[in-house]
Structure 1
Amino acid sequence: MPETTTATTTDGTAGADPAKRSLGTGPGRLLVTLYGVFTVAAASRSLYQLIAQFDRAPLAYSLSALSAVVYGFITFSLVRGGEGARRAALGCCALELLGVLGIGTWTLVDPAAFPDATVWSDYGMGYLFIPVILPVTGLIWLRRSRRA
């Protein structure tokens, strides 16, 4: 449940502290939904692959598990709200974007290193490029929510 506190506004009335409002409200609700879906998708896929097929592509499956952890942390931060959670989500979205760009480039340059795809392979092409769009959208939302 998001933290809320009351603060006295400039006119002397009590109201919700905007720094503690949930990042998952308004347009952020769509981000929470998408990150939640990607958390479940990446976690379930990588868990199965790590258990049943690890010897086939350990690097790819481990990177998919890492992406699930990143997605889960961002989801949690967006739901939690507050300035600390916003900063943590901002850092994770930046890390996610670097991961998508780095792994996406790596899979194109050295396809032999990835006998099976990760969530971030080919910039998320297997997921309609949502993995590369999501962190950009998240970074924009997190920057805008700071000013609100």
Structure 2
Amino acid sequence: MPDDRTLGAPAEPGSGTSGAARVLVALYAVFALAAGSRAGVQLATRFDEAPLAYLLSALAAAVYLVATVALARGPAGRRVALTAITVELVGVLVVGTLSLVDAAAFPDETVWSGYGRGYLYVPLVLPVLGLALLLRRRSGRPAER
């Protein structure tokens, strides 16, 4: 049963919820679904073509799912959200760089290839926004309403 700390509750002073946080949860949920669906189809039908790329897309989907759930839990999920979003940012930067430096290692794109160019660079921007929101709250600055 949701309580006032979840993002489904109305934003009240001191509740830790905000419109920005709700949008972030929605974006993470969409990316978890998109990356998971894409990876599922690729792993089931073409695994032998680019196993590394498809497994990295599945990893991205798992990270997005963990971030979604943690962010939706509000303050109770803050530590897990910080960890998941940090892993996501490192993944985007490492895979994005490797996919540009050694394109032969990635015969098919991952969610994080080219810093997320196949998803309009949202995979690069999303963790930056997520960390900014979480760190702003940590510093005691009020979240947007």
Q: TM-score range by the shorter chain?
A: 0.7 to 0.9
- The offset of 1:145, in angstroms, is 2.1
Q: For residues 130 and 4 of structure 1, what CA distance do their matches in structure 2 show?
A: 29
Residue 98 of structure 1 aligns with an amino acid whose one-letter code is: V
Q: 1:40 aligns with which of 12, 33, 36?
A: 33
Of the two, which has the highest radius of gyration?
A: 1
Give 2:83's aligned residue: 91
Give 1:13's aligned residue: none
Give 1:61's aligned residue: 54
TM-score of the superposition, structure 1-length normalised? Answer: 0.84
2:118 maps to 1:130 = no
Give 2:96's aligned residue: 104
Give 2:73's aligned residue: 80
4+ residue runs over 3 A deviation: 1-5
Structure 2: segments with no counterpart, 5+ residues: 6-11
Q: For residues 22 and 41 of structure 1, what CA distance do their matches in structure 2 show?
A: 28
The 3-state SS of whatever aligns with 2:107 is coil
- The offset of 1:17, in angstroms, is 9.5
Asked if structure 2 preserves the Cα contact closer than 8 Å seen for 1:70 and 1:96, the reply is yes
Q: For residues 68 and 125 of structure 2, what CA distance do their matches in structure 1 show?
A: 16
Deviation per residue, 1:21-80 (Å, 9 max, x gap): 455x32111101110100000000000100110000000000000000000000001111
Q: For residues 17 and 28 of structure 1, what CA distance do their matches in structure 2 show?
A: 14
Identity %: 53
The 3-state SS of whatever aligns with 1:137 is helix
Q: For residues 95 and 2 of structure 1, what CA distance do their matches in structure 2 show?
A: 27
Q: How many residues align?
A: 134
TM-score of the superposition, structure 2-length normalised? Answer: 0.85
After superposition, the Cα gap between the structure-2 partners of 1:80 and 1:69, relative to the gap in structure 1 and judged at 3 Å, is same
Structure 1: segments with no counterpart, 5+ residues: 6-15
Asked if structure 2 preserves the Cα contact closer than 8 Å seen for 1:64 and 1:120, the reply is yes
CA-based RMSD of the aligned residues comes to 1.8
